[in-house]
Chains A and B, each alone.
Chain A
């Protein structure tokens, strides 16, 4: 792949690189700010002295967060929810997306409409809550795994990918050779679709990692809580006042800003680590696509 680059193209390349470098700085700085603030002392943050490098370096916030035994418990829970939840998501989404990507499937538009409809109309919070309770999922781990088992949006994205990248002919010929649909899905469609599987994994994993609302409404048993819910509690309850004539917890205030940043870092880093790992599959997917065609 060698090009004879025109001047215009060279200019474009230079412009492109500059633009993306500036963009990267803008994307990076806030997270950098969070990291730097998490290891600075509260007074420096408050006075706005922290901008590029930590001021008054200390790890007190991390100590406080990690000394909390609940952090470890909920961390384990979250990892479970992410792994189990994403697995369920991927299986069900694929089972929905593949048949619906097949143009020869009678009634597929009806099913699509049936699914898309749910993106716009819902019973609302209360009926969903009652539904989960009546199904007996309340206060069980299933309450975080089943109600969001398929995202209609992700299903559509996956279906669109199958539809636009898997040639109909490939499936036809596989069928000629007597392959079952499951076989076609498993050994032809999925290997060709690693990019979208990687994206779905990422989307679902991030969803599970960041979600706290379902846990807040469906789980009372604290030993089942995910990390995010605990973090939210740490963040919010450190701001309580003695509204009601009690003594309140004013003493937490001084450190709460750094704790907030430290918890953000703790809650963000693991999911950042997954991404480059998945990114490899994007490239792989392209390669496979080239070989098979």
Chain B
């Protein structure tokens, strides 16, 4: 290993300009064991992610399995064109953005707030109890969750009966076939199912904050509100920003599996998103090229968003993904 390093030591300065480069190079040598650690990781990503990535070219082909990816005929932007020209393109784009926005505005802060509320609890047993309870919904399979939702929300379901009983409504509401209710049901149940689970990360970040900071602040006479603002929040800010970046990077992804379990043609108007559209189009008809084209379109938008937000975070918050 030393011989190797020495050999390349001679080469590199010839090719590169001197000065700064030499310093970086010394850094590389100094941290060589860190690079060695990274080898299996990088290898993994090459073998299981980058190697199959060439398959994305089927977006520009008419993929025929028995010809293979390489020999399937090129069709250029046909699938993209089909997607953009679809009668429903504008609508599914709008629905995707609106649902994502709801999730970002209501869902993302919910987990942080739950973590903060739990953190303020002084009774450790109660805290642990609530915390353990809050992640339960995450473990119930989506099919069962949606089944229960439909059950509860039926005209003669438990929710309508309760609302009727307390007199909020006079007539039962058939929630599942009314377009105006779909997004609320979808996003609301999503928060319910994931808020506890998502708060785990924030709780872990909270537990990483040094308790002596709080003690010092208490000595200085800062109240709990003050402590939360000046110690707790800054303490978990890096985690919040990183997760926010990732979330925004997934902006155009709305899970189609839950959509298709909950929607029906009466609610398409507000419920049909890119994912469910592609599911109907691509997967049930095994039209992989079309699916790949829409996937690529989504990825490009998401990745662009990610790069922009990351840039912004780097400047403003000095915390970023890279």
Contacts and interface: CB of A to CB of B under 8 A. Distances in A.
B174 interface: no
Interface string B279-303: 0000000001001100110010011
Contacts of B292: 124
B137 A31 contact: yes
A156 B16 CA distance: 32
A204 interface: no
Interface in B71-98: none
Contacts of B38: 95-96, 99-100, 111
B41 A95 contact: yes
A21 B134 CA distance: 11
Given A28-B136, A123-B55, A131-B52, A276 B128 contact: yes
Interface of A is mostly: helix
Nearest to B286: A126
Given A276-B128, A290-B212, A120 B40 contact: no
Interface stretch (B7-15, B113-121, B263-271): B113-121
A21 B246 CA distance: 31
A149 B58 contact: no
B132 interface: yes
B208 A102 contact: no
Greatest chain B CB density within 10 A among A92, A96, A127, A285 is at A127
Contacts of B155: none
Interface string A14-41: 0011011101101110110110000000
B55 A16 contact: no
Given A116-B322, A121-B303, A276-B132, A16 B120 contact: yes
Nearest to A6: B223
Interface in A186-240: 195-196, 198-199, 202, 206, 210, 235
Nearest to A212: B141
B231 interface: no
B274 interface: no
B107 interface: no
A102 B31 CA distance: 10
Contacts of B128: 276, 279
Contact of B148 (A33, A109, A149, A275): A33
A261 B148 CA distance: 11
A272 B139 contact: yes
Nearest to A118: B49
A68 B134 CA distance: 33
B58 A17 contact: no
Contact of B37 (A6, A98, A267, A268): A98
B66 interface: no
Contact of B210 (A3, A16, A123, A293): A293
Interface residues of B, number: 93
A123 B120 CA distance: 45
Greatest chain A CB density within 10 A among B48, B145, B157 is at B48
B58 A126 contact: yes
A286 interface: yes
Nearest to A236: B143
Interface string B296-314: 1001001100100000000
Interface stretch (B165-173, B178-186, B197-205): B197-205
B83 to A, nearest CB: 15
Contacts of A150: 41, 44-45
Contacts of A19: 117
A140 to B, nearest CB: 15
B69 interface: yes
Nearest to B239: A160
Given A31-B140, A102-B31, A131-B52, 9 more contacts: A1-B218, A105-B27, A114-B42, A118-B49, A124-B55, A195-B208, A285-B204, A289-B207, A289-B210
10 contacts: A106-B31, A114-B42, A120-B249, A121-B53, A126-B63, A128-B48, A180-B33, A282-B207, A286-B211, A289-B208
Q: Which 5 pairs from chain A and chain B are nearest by CB?
A: A127-B55, A123-B55, A123-B52, A112-B322, A96-B41
Interface of A: 1, 3, 6, 8-9, 12-13, 16-17, 19-21, 23-24, 26-28, 30-31, 33-34, 48, 51, 92, 95-96, 98-100, 102, 104-128, 130-131, 135, 146-147, 149-150, 153, 155-157, 160-161, 163-165, 180-182, 185, 195-196, 198-199, 202, 206, 210, 235, 260-261, 264, 267-268, 271-272, 275-276, 279, 282-283, 285-286, 289-290, 293
